[in-house]
Amino acid sequence: MTQIPNWLADDYQNLIQQYDQNKLPHGLLMVGHEGNGSRELTTSVIQYLMCTAPVAGFACSECKSCQLLASGSHPDFLKVIPEGKSLTIKVDAIRQLTHLVSETAQQAGNKVVYIQNAEKMNLNAANALLKVLEEPTPNTFLLMDVDELSRVLPTVRSRSRLVRLSTPSQAQSLAWIAEQGLDEDSALRKLSICFDQPYEAIKLTTEAEQAWFEREKSFLNHQHFTALGKYVFSQELPVLLEQVLCWVDTSLRQRQDAGKPQQSVSSAMLAELSVIPAVLLFQFRDYIVSMLKSVKNQANLNAQLMSEQIAARWINMRGII
C-alpha cells in the first residue's frame, strides 16, 4: 500500500469520502507536483477504487483485485504515459483507453484509467478524450495528474473536476525528510535546490548537487558568449533555465527585503546580480520565462541558437564586453 505524506492526508480523505458517498465525479484533474507527493496520492486513490474489500479508508492489498493491480495485470486498469522522444501522449493511446471504458469490467468492480502528465496530450489526443469525459460509462473513473494546468485544453478542464493538491510547508518537508534519514543541513540544501519539493530532494544525488553549483561557476567565470554558449548547449535546457530563473528571483526578492537564506544560490552569484539594475534583471527574467515556456511546450527550437542567445543576453546584462 502506498504511503501518503501527512500534508496530503486531508486531500486523500476528501476524495475517498466522495467516493463512499457516490459523489466522486467521473473525471478528475489532480493538479500538483510529483515532487510534492502527487503521484503517491493518486496511486492511493486508484488502489482504493480498485479494491473490493477496503479497510479503514485504504485498499486492503490482499483481495484479488489488489493483487492484480500490484502485479500490473489488472484487466480493468489502464495507465497512459507520455512516450517517444517528445514525451507526448498521442491519439492512439487515448483510443486504447476508449476501448477499455466501453467494455464491461472483467472483475465486476470499477474501471480506472490513469493519465500521467495529462498536459502532454497533443491536440488530437485531447479531443479524442472529450467523448470519454462527455459520455461516462458506469463505474468508470478517469484520473489525470497535471503539473501545469495552463497547458491542458480548456474543453478537457471544463469537463473534469479540478483537485488542487496541498503543498507542504518547509517544516512539514523537513520533518518528512528527517524520517528518511537525512540531517537538517542536507535537507535544507537539497530542498532549496529542488524548489522546496521534498520527494525530489530525497532523490537528489551528490553528483546532481555538484552539477548545480558547477553551473553557477560556469556562468560566473565565462567572460565571452561563445564559450558560455557552448556550455549552455551541453546542458539540459529546462534544468538550466529553471536554475537561472532561481538566481534572478532570489536576487530580486533580496532587494525587497532580506528574506530567508537560499542555500541553492551562492553568495558570489548574489553579489554579482546585486549590482545589476533591477529593470535589466526583470527584462532578463521575462526572456528566461519565455524560453522555458517554449522548451516545455516542445516548440521546434534551434537549441544551439537558443543557447548562444541565452549566453549573449547574460553577458550583455552583466556589462561584459
29, 165 in Cβ contact below 8 A?
A: no
Does residue 65 sit in the same domain as residue 38? yes
Residue 1 lies in a domain: no
- Whether 302 is in a domain gets the answer yes
Phi, psi (deg, nearest 5) at residue 310: -60, -45
Same domain? 190 vs 248: no
- Burial readout 261-278 (b: 16 or more C-beta within 10 A, e: otherwise): ebebbeeebeebbeeeee
Domain end position, chosen among 155, 181, 204: 204
User: Are residues 109 and 130 both part of a single domain?
Assistant: yes
* 279 and 143 fall within a common domain: no
Among residues 231, 214, 225, 239, the alpha carbon closest in space to that of 311 is found at 225
End-to-end alpha-carbon separation of the chain, Å?
59
User: Is the same domain home to 148 and 46?
Assistant: yes
Question: 184 lies in a domain?
Answer: yes
Domain end (from 164, 183, 218): 164
Same domain, 96 and 174: no
Residues of the chain predicted below pLDDT 70: 1, 258-262, 298-300, 321
CA distances from residue 23 to 52, 109, 147, 257, 319 in whole angstroms, order as listed: 18, 17, 25, 46, 60
* Same domain? 273 vs 292: yes
CATH code, domain carrying 20: 3.40.50.300
SS3 78: strand
Residue 75 lies in a domain: yes
Q: Are residues 13 and 156 in the same domain?
A: yes
Please give the tally of structural domains in the chain: 3
Among 164, 187, 222, the domain-final residue is 164
C-alpha cell at 168: 507542504
Q: What pLDDT is stored for residue 298 in this prediction?
A: 65
**Rounded to 5 degrees, what are φ and ψ at 151?**
-90, 0
Task: Using CA atoms of 79, 7, 2, 77 in order, give the dihedral in degrees to the nearest 10.
Answer: -20
Identify whether the C-beta of residue 27 lies closer than 8 Å to the C-beta of residue 142.
yes
82/97 same-domain check: yes
- Domain assignment of residue 249, yes or no: yes
The pLDDT score that the predictor gives to residue 87 is 83
Residues 95 and 152 in one domain: yes
Q: pLDDT tens digits, residue range 66-104?
A: 999 999 999 999 999 998 877 889 999 998 888 888 888
The pLDDT of residue 31 is 96
CA distance 184 to 95: 48
Could you give the CA distance from residue 18 to residue 315 in angstroms, rounded to a whole number? 55
* DSSP secondary structure letter of residue 61: S
What local confidence, expressed as pLDDT, does residue 176 receive? 93
Residue 264 pLDDT: 86
**Does residue 105 sit in the same domain as residue 159?**
yes
| 3 state SS of 190 | helix
CA–CA dist 97, 42 (Å, integer): 18
Q: Which domain holds residue 309?
A: 206-317
Given a contact cutoff of 8 angstroms between Cβ atoms, the answer to whether 202 and 189 are in contact is: no
The residues, any chain, with a CB within 8 Å of residue 133's CB and separated by 6 or more, are: 26, 27, 142, 156, 159, 160
Q: Tens of pLDDT along 198-228? A: 999 999 999 999 999 999 999 999 888 889 9
Residue 117 CA to chain centroid, in angstroms?
8
**Together in a domain, 277 and 187:** no
